[in-house]
Amino acid sequence: MNHCMNCGVWVEHLTCPLCHRKVANPTFTTEVKWYPDYHSLKQKKGNSFVSRLVIFVSIVIVSTCLLINIFVTPDFLWVFYVAATVLYLLVTSNHTINSSAHTGAKIFGQVISLSGLLIVVDVLSGFRRWSVNFVVPFLIITATLLITIIILKKRMRWQEYVGFIVALIVLGFLPVGLYITGIATILWPCAITTLYALLTLLGMLLFSDKTFKEELVRRFHI
Amino acid sequence: MSRWYKIDNAGKVFHAVTKASNSSVYRVSMIMKAPVNAVLLQKALDTVIKRFPTLAVKVRKGLFWDFMVDNEEKLSIQKETTYPCHPINPRENNGYLFRVLYFKQRISVEIFHSLTDGTGAVEFLKTLIYQYLTLQGEKLVIDGDVLFPDEVPNKYEIEDSFEKYFHESNHYHLHDKVPRSFQIKGTPFDPAGVNVIHGVISASAVNRFAKRLGASITEFITAVLIHAIYSETMKYGLYKENITIALPANLRRQFPSVTLRNFFAVVNVGMHVTDKMTLEDIIKTVSNQLRSKTERETLQAEINRHVHLQNSLTTRMVPLFLKYQAMRYGFQHFGEMAKTITLSNLGNIKLPDCMNRYIKRMEVVLYPTKNSPINCGVCSLNDQMTITFARSIVETEIIKSFFSQLTRLTGLDVEVYSNYWGEAR
């Protein structure tokens, strides 16, 4: 044990951790090692750099296109096509591919972002309503089916997907809402989506005994 | 069907406020007399983890509240490679919110605060060490100081004691505004991390010295810390703020409970220090405040206030992401800004004599936060009191002043060692 005259304490090192001075006349020259060496510790390089790079590149593309659009063809704002596509690719890159998010969250994210992209494209090209009549309902059905398959496959860890299946079941009622409000004009795809959501809910309640109901109680406890 | 648990009143906040600069992960360690055998430690953990069902959990998302469910995955011990209180990523830890580490003679348990408080963590560590020593072939006779690994956990250990001791009242005093306390500023480490400095001193000698001044150990250490903060950071400045020490109080002392979940309240002891004040004056103020604020009636009011807030229909019906925003605001303005530093004294840890002879001492490391970049943890074992400062900033003046004053005042030897994060050895 060495004595630091400056701080008045005994130290188990050659440098005092309090004043950072070398201990005068150390009696022990071999340090007691209480902690690992951190020099060899590799700094964990997360995905943050790639994510930030993708965001920066996206901003560069959109802002450049905006400038060109304003100066070259101010009557036709095609920049929104670019912006919506870039935004979708940004979500796909930073959330779906380049993140450790839950698979359920990735599927849900894709439904929302792809729906958003296609609605924008539809609106910009005259809003013939193909996005709200067909794309959104069938995207929701596809995602619900996908998560149902995952739940059936993952017998041990299916509870992790309950939140997402519930969210998609709730989302399954959205197309009918769009029809009622007049945004969507064709009923049958909207009705199929809602029926599919209801049947999924019913199937979960019937075939999972008490576990699904119990999981719902947990998820919605107040 | 796996069991599930609602997160207790105190635990809920940690889910909301945890981020890179505030890991909400604290550490309790025991320094053994012999190097740790990793194989036996893993075997001990495999057995002991079943004894603590509220620790062996993973978090699930809910719409109104998150909750915890049994975790059947294996929890592997890890050799310590990075700084203490490093954030826990459940994805890299089989869903668990705590980890067991070893390095040379040290066995550490790092726990996300949502699971349990210091008392629960120490109970887990004691049982782990008991099982580890038993697997080493030691014949140990325990007599109530350690939870036996093969016992079935009783229902009182997994209860939410906040709910149990909550009393309906017509008067819930909500703080309108908490005055801002003095905040320690410094240069953050680059790369970010936690530097710990431990000081080891004779517990009985410090106790005797504190008693002579009419104070408890916690009151004495708090007073020395206030004095150190004042003399190093405020003395030559113009400050109107109080120096406030946040002291987590173990509610089990006032409300009979054996829960292994969170059951603590934070007591803020603060004062405006001037040049004319002596250490004795500071001790007197600290003692008066601490004693009145840890009376049963005061703590009962705190429990009532927090549980009432959590249980009110308005709070319950608000979706979780909005509640988290409100909790973050509350934590920042009523918690972080209202204190200068946190000092947690786990007290004298009792172990059977048959176990004590294998253990040198204990350490407790409290995670620093952005607004409270230096925190202090204290505990005693085998008459060795370890005072640990964990900091996320380069500056050491306050810690240096604290230990220098402690040696000067008491005349006792203090042994200091560090992990040297961010520094050259």
For B236-279, the pLDDT digits (tens) are 777 788 999 999 999 999 999 999 999 999 999 999 998 889 99
B-chain residue closest to A10, CA distance: B415
- CB contact (8 A) between residue A14 and residue B415: no
Q: What is the pLDDT of residues B195-218, one digit of tens each?
A: 999 999 999 999 999 999 999 999
What CA–CA distance (Å, rounded) separates B28 from B99? 11
Closest approach of chain B CAs to the CA of A158, in angstroms? 12
- Provide the pLDDT confidence category of residue B412 given band limits of 50, 70 and 90: very high
Residue B175 has pLDDT above 70, yes or no: no
Class in CATH terms, B195-418:
alpha beta
Q: Mean pLDDT across the stretch B188-197? A: 93
- CB contact (8 A) between residue B413 and residue A10: yes
In a 13 Å sphere around the CA of B376, the CA atoms on its Cβ side amount to 26
Q: Which residues of A touch B67 (CB under 8 A)?
A: 218, 221
Closest approach of chain B CAs to the CA of A10, in angstroms? 5
What CA–CA distance (Å, rounded) separates B200 from B206? 11
- For residue B204, is it left (φ>0), alpha (ψ between -120 and 50) or beta? alpha
What CA–CA distance (Å, rounded) separates B6 from A222? 10
- SS3 (DSSP) at B361: strand
A-chain residue closest to B194, CA distance: A38
- CB contact (8 A) between residue A11 and residue B417: yes
Question: Which of these ranges, A43-57, B109-123, B237-251, B351-365, has the smallest mean pLDDT?
Answer: A43-57
Report the candidate in B225, B354, B363 with the shortest Cα–Cα distance to residue B286: B225
- Provide the pLDDT confidence category of residue B174 given band limits of 50, 70 and 90: low
Write the DSSP symbol of residue B157. G
Residue B394 has pLDDT above 90, yes or no: yes
Of A3, A7, A22, A160, which to mutate for an interface test with B (greatest number of B Cβ within 10 Å)? Answer: A7
- CB contact (8 A) between residue A31 and residue B425: yes
Closest approach of chain B CAs to the CA of A167, in angstroms? 10
**Structure tokens of A87?**
């935004």
Q: Which residues of B touch A222 (CB under 8 A)?
A: 64-65, 316-317
Residue A102 has pLDDT above 90, yes or no: no
Q: Which residues of A touch B224 (CB under 8 A)?
A: none
Q: Which residues of B touch A13 (CB under 8 A)?
A: 417-418, 420, 425
- The per-residue pLDDT for B104 is 94
Q: 3-state secondary structure string, B76-142?
A: CCEECCCCCCCCCCHHHCCCCCEEEEEECCEEEEEEECCCCCHHHHHHHHHHHHHHHHHHCCCCCCC
Report the candidate in B346, B284, B351 with the shortest Cα–Cα distance to residue B141: B351
Better pLDDT: B119 or A99: B119
Q: Which residues of A touch B19 (CB under 8 A)?
A: none
Domain boundaries, chain B: 4-145, 195-418
* Identity of the residue in A10, A13, A159 whose CB atom sits nearest the CB atom of B425: A13
* Identity of the residue in A8, A15, A32 whose CB atom sits nearest the CB atom of B408: A8
Q: Mean pLDDT across the stretch B96-101? A: 96
Closest approach of chain A CAs to the CA of B61, in angstroms? 7
- CB contact (8 A) between residue B400 and residue A18: yes
Closest approach of chain B CAs to the CA of A122, in angstroms? 32
Q: Mean pLDDT across the stretch A106-120? A: 93
- CB contact (8 A) between residue A18 and residue B416: yes
Residues 6+ apart with CB under 8 A from A96: A106, A109, A110
What CA–CA distance (Å, rounded) separates B237 from B231? 10
- Provide the pLDDT confidence category of residue A137 given band limits of 50, 70 and 90: very high
Q: Is the ipTM of this complex over 0.85?
A: yes
Please give the backbone phi and psi of residue A213, each rounded to the nearest 5 degrees, phi first: -65, -45
- What DSSP letter does each residue of B229-251 carry, written as one string? HIIIIITTS---SPEEEEEEEEG
* Identity of the residue in A18, A32, A36 whose CB atom sits nearest the CB atom of B403: A18
* Identity of the residue in B62, B197, B415 whose CB atom sits nearest the CB atom of A218: B62
- CB contact (8 A) between residue B61 and residue A163: yes
Q: Which residues of B touch A34 (CB under 8 A)?
A: 103-104, 106, 198, 417, 419
- CB contact (8 A) between residue A218 and residue B69: yes
In a 13 Å sphere around the CA of B345, the CA atoms on its Cβ side amount to 15
- CB contact (8 A) between residue A221 and residue B6: yes
Average predicted confidence (pLDDT) for chain A: 88
Q: What is the pTM of this model?
A: 0.88
Closest approach of chain B CAs to the CA of A141, in angstroms? 23
Task: Kindly state the percentage of chain B with pLDDT values over 70.
Answer: 98
What fold does the segment set B4-145 form as a domain?
A: Chloramphenicol Acetyltransferase (3.30.559)
Please give the backbone phi and psi of residue B257, each rounded to the nearest 5 degrees, phi first: -160, 145
A-chain residue closest to B422, CA distance: A38
- The per-residue pLDDT for B171 is 66
Interface size between A and B, measured as CB pairs under 8 A: 114
Q: Mean pLDDT across the stretch A192-219? A: 85
Answer whether B4-145 and B195-418 agree in fold: yes
* Identity of the residue in B1, B65, B106 whose CB atom sits nearest the CB atom of A214: B1
What CA–CA distance (Å, rounded) separates A21 from B361? 27
* Identity of the residue in A19, A38, A220 whose CB atom sits nearest the CB atom of B421: A38
